[in-house]
Amino acid sequence: MKSIVCMKAVPSTNQVRLDPVTHTICRDGRQAVVNPFDASALETAVGIKERLGGQVTVLSMGIPDTERLLRDALSRGADTGILLSDRAFAGADTLATSYSLSLGVKEAGGYQMILCGKMAVDGDTAQIGPELAGVLEIPCVTDVCEILHLTDKEVQVKKGVDGGHQILKVKLPVLLTVEKDICMPRMPSIAGIRFGETGPVAVKGASELAADPMRIGLTGSPTQVIKTFTPKRQSESIPIPGTPGEQASQLAILCKEVSR
Amino acid sequence: MTGLKVDREKCIGCGLCVKACVSHGLSMEKKKAVVNDHCTLCGICVDSCHVGAISLEKESVISDEQWKNSKGIWVFAQQKEGEILPVVYELLGKGRELADGKGCRLTALLGEAKEHGNTEKLIAAGADQVIVCRDSRLAEMDTEIYVKWICRQIQRFAPEIFLFGATGFGRALAPGVAVHMQTGLTADCTALEIDTKTGLLCQTRPAFGGNLMATIVCPNHRPQMATVWAGIMKAREPDPSRTGKVIETFLEEKDISRIQILKNLPAGVSDSITQASVLVVIGRGIGNKKNIPMMKELSELLGGRLGCSRPLVEAGWCEYKYQVGQTGSSVSPRLLLSIGVSGAVQHLAGINGAEKIIAINNDPKAPIFGISHYVVVGDCIEVVKALIRELSDIS
């Protein structure tokens, strides 16, 4: 089974915080981490490789430093990495990103399955999976929480849907986006860490991939941000004072009122 | 040339842009801001600059002129077993307002297996016309079939704006349509309005975990597409006297899905925290796993459901499906009672949609209080015990 796992570097937990005085973003200096949903996608792919054999390629688009995260993926069971890194890719929205990633997929040379996290925790759009599948013209199954049966021809999965779950079957090649709880990502082994340091990670620029300059980066993005601003917070919270008993009687009234 | 430009004449070297940048993309050199390779062209610095020294330049794409003729606002009318979802009526409420402002038609797009009397309901809720397709292939919510049908209608009628509910299905379907039409899609919008000068749809959504809001436009591609969570927009009172047109459309014989649905497993009612109108959310502050049954009792007394913060899932006290927050479920109940949750950024981002938040925590500085409407500083176990007594007495 040849699979490709798409991974995104996201700000580490609590990294993005607003300075209450200046309303600018303050950082705690920690580095970017792998989007947690993508870590589950990687573990899923590595688990499949261990059962059925094959190869796992990790694919990302980002600044040169993202290579660090792909090497970390190598230490956790991936075989090769491809990083799309070029100034020309910067400022991409989901449409331009999915086109760019499709070039990386072609670079990987053949696959039966593409795995993505259900969404990235920074952007939260959940669009890259379905859009990448659309560019590649392969079927896409989102929100997969269990792989029930897999052969080299087809896969049966359980996916979350509005108000429940669904079991479905689809022929390969396919793109799956996975829920975080599909599996528990492993820690790197000692041998894995060594492989991570030396294993193959190819860094590719836009021209090496023969990217259409009108479809990548800010230029290739239909959407553009015209304004950013600090959201209005709850201006004044109302305190409920007193003993636990007094607080509870106030709360009881409030709860009844609000939930009516 | 596309890129971020700093006007060195205007730059006063104040450094605000360096502070504003999330990706270390700017630095100060010789008291002037300089862009480096870490810049992702997100544009946050542009608004942070008080002297207007930074600009984001974009090479204009010569796009298909056809879109200039695009007209009208569309809402995807998702149904479940023949019942239109509430988010559709909310989008029609907003869509009506936008359509009146623009002086254009509001259209609902309805796919269903058979007639359920839904077209009348959609018109009563504000639609001027309904494009409907009745086919057993639309019974299962299969994006493959829906994308084919919808894209064909877009090519035929050329809508200017297209709104989807950010349901599980909507969040899979909308990107499928967007990539097919090669247009932009803005996810999870919290505000939609028409720019009076350009006529463009201004789509506002949380960015960076809800700490910043970004307003996004899609100037040169059509339709302009957006998804919106349930509970954000307001539905109008249905007006049964409204009349509208129904346009019947059909699938083609060749429209078959590569995905085969084998079985549907509906969740028990108690499973759904995203649909709950009252939600009790517990965090590490409840102290002990033994206190969970008490919290469950409280949620039942309030006629609601029980959710939790991430640490409780990681500790193995609760199942992942009950996790509220960015890596769990985003929720938008009418009442959210938060108990012993400190409020990490990711958690707060997931409860932004709640109408009223009441928080109980023993730490007066807990971040959860920053977004709560009512705050109770105290021992959450004591307060909950007393509250259960109160509520049992009332009922």
Lowest-confidence region among A147-161, B152-166, B380-394:
B380-394
Q: Which of A22-26, B247-251, B252-256 comes out lowest in average pLDDT?
A: A22-26
Question: Which comes out higher in pLDDT, residue B327 or A240?
Answer: A240
Q: Which pLDDT value is given to residue B268?
A: 64
Per-residue pLDDT band at B71 (split at 50, 70, 90): very high
Q: Note whether B213 contacts A: Cβ–Cβ < 8 A.
A: yes
A33 close to B (CB below 8 A)? no
A237 contact B CB<8A = yes
CA distance A70 to chain B (A): 17
The residue-averaged pLDDT of B115-141 equals: 95
The confidence band for B66, taking pLDDT boundaries of 50, 70 and 90, is low
pLDDT of residue A98 exceeding 90: yes
- What residues pair up with B131 in beta bridges, in sequence order? B109, B247
Find chain A residues with C-beta within 8 A of B212's C-beta: 18, 25, 228-231
In the predicted model, what is the mean pLDDT of residues B248-256? 95
Nearest Cα of chain B lies from the Cα of A240 at a distance, in angstroms, of 5
Residue A15 pLDDT: 46
Q: Are A227 and B47 in contact (CB under 8 A)?
A: yes
| B residues 133-192 lying closer than 8 A (beta carbon) to A | 141, 143-144, 147, 167-169, 171-172, 174-176, 178-180, 182-188
**What is the distance between the alpha carbons of residues B279 and A139, in angstroms, rounded to a whole number?**
36
Identify all chain A residues contacting B41, using CB atoms and an 8 Å cutoff. 90-91, 217-218
Contact B83, B112 (CB under 8 A): no
Determine the distance in angstroms separating the CA of A239 from the nearest CA of chain B, rounded to an integer.
5
Kind of pairing, strands B54-57 and B3-6? antiparallel
Q: What percent of chain B has pLDDT over 70?
A: 95
Interatomic CA distance for residues B304 and B80, integer angstroms: 22
DSSP lists the bridge partners of residue A158 as: A146, A167
Pairing of strands A164-171, A154-161: antiparallel
CA B198/CA A167 separation, integer angstroms: 46
Architecture, CATH, for domain A2-204: 3-Layer(aba) Sandwich (3.40)
pLDDT at B269: 53
Least confident of A25-34, A72-81, A151-160, A199-208: A25-34
pLDDT higher than 80, residue B293: yes
Residues of A with Cβ-Cβ distance to B215 under 8 angstroms: 225-229
Confidence of residue B370 (pLDDT cuts 50, 70, 90): confident
Mind spelling out the 3-state secondary structure of B125-182? Answer: CCCCEEEEEECHHHCCCCHHHHHHHHHHHHHHHCCCEEEEECCHHHHHHHHHHHHHHC
Percent of chain A with pLDDT over 90: 76
Are the beta carbons of B75 and B93 closer than 8 angstroms?
Answer: no
A35 at the B interface (CB within 8 A)? no
> Mean of the pLDDT values across residues B364-372?
89
Ranked by mean pLDDT, the top range of A32-36, A252-256, B29-33, B96-100 is: B96-100
Res A22 pLDDT > 80: no
Q: What integer is the mean pLDDT of B43-71?
A: 78
Measured between CB atoms, which of A90, A139, A222 is closest to B39? A90
Give the per-residue pLDDT at A29.
47
Nearest-by-CA chain A residue for B140: A166
Task: Give the pLDDT score at B58.
Answer: 76
Rounded-to-integer distance, Cα B29 and Cα B13, Å: 9
- The pTM of the full predicted model, rounded to 2 decimals, is 0.86
Can you read off the two tokens belonging to residue B57? 């330049």
Within 296-355 of B, beta carbons closer than 8 Å to A belong to 302-304, 320-321, 326-327, 334-335, 337, 344-346, 349, 355
- pLDDT for B289 equals 92
Is pLDDT at A203 greater than 80 in this prediction? yes
Rounded to the nearest angstrom, the minimum Cα separation between B141 and chain A is 9
What angle do helix axes A67-75 and A190-198 make, rounded to 10 degrees? 140
pLDDT of residue A255: 87
Domain ranges of chain A: 2-204
Tell me which of A185 and B349 has the higher pLDDT. A185
The predicted structure's pLDDT at residue A135: 97
Q: What is the bridge-based pairing of β-strands B278-282 and B335-339?
A: parallel
Written as six digits, the tokens of A174 are 């396919």
Averaged pLDDT, A200-227: 94
Nearest CA in chain A to B180: A134
From A10-14, B44-48, B205-209, the region with the lowest mean pLDDT? A10-14
Confidence (pLDDT) at A14: 47
Q: Kindly determine whether residue B184 and residue A222, on different chains, have CB atoms separated by under 8 Å.
A: yes
Distance between CA B286 and CA B283 in Å, rounded? 6
In this prediction, residue A18 carries a pLDDT of 55
HEC readout, chain A: CEEEEECCEECCCCCCEECCCCCCEECCCCCCEECHHHHHHHHHHHHHHHHHCCEEEEEEECCHHHHHHHHHHHHCCCCEEEEECCHHHCCCCHHHHHHHHHHHHHHHCCCCEEEEECCCCCCCCCCHHHHHHHHHCCCEEEEEEEEEEECCCEEEEEEEECCEEEEEEEECCEEEEECHHHCCCCCCCHHHHHHHHHCCEEEECCCCCCCCHHHCCCCCCCCEEEEEECCCCCCCCEECCCCHHHHHHHHHHHHHHHHC
Q: How would residue A164 be classed by pLDDT, with cut points 50, 70 and 90?
A: confident
Average pLDDT, chain A: 90
Q: Who among A63, A139, A219 is closest to B2 (CB)? A: A219
**φ, ψ for residue A122, nearest 5 deg:** -90, -45
Query: Cα dist. B14→A27, A127, B25 in Å?
Result: 18, 37, 16
User: pLDDT digits over B186-207, tens only?
Assistant: 998 989 999 999 999 999 988 7
Query: Average pLDDT, whole number, for chain B?
Result: 90
> Which whole number is the average pLDDT over A81-102?
96
